[in-house]
Amino acid sequence: MEKWTRHETVSLIAEYEARPELWDEKSPMYKDLRKRNQLLQELAVFSNRNVEAVKKKFTPFVQPSHAN
């Protein structure tokens, strides 16, 4: 898979932020895995990548809130 450009990364982050179900633990849909998978699929289509590439892109940024 080709490398993410800065523009692609910024655009993906904006789309991710527009979907609080993916990152806001207070969102009623945060624990709905079907909804989260659907939203990740949307991001994959938006970025012209697969879901695993999108997940991998956010792995360094996503930390459980209870981690030390």
Ranges of each domain in the chain: 6-58
Both tokens of 15, joined, read 């789309």
Tell me the C-alpha to C-alpha distance, in Å, between residue 32 and each of 6, 27, 29, 35, 39: 30, 10, 5, 5, 11
Q: How far apart are CA 11 and CA 25, in angstroms?
A: 22
Is-above-0.85 flag for pTM? no
Query: What integer pLDDT is reported at residue 58 of this predicted model?
Result: 84
Averaged pLDDT for residues 6-19: 96
Averaged pLDDT for residues 28-55: 96
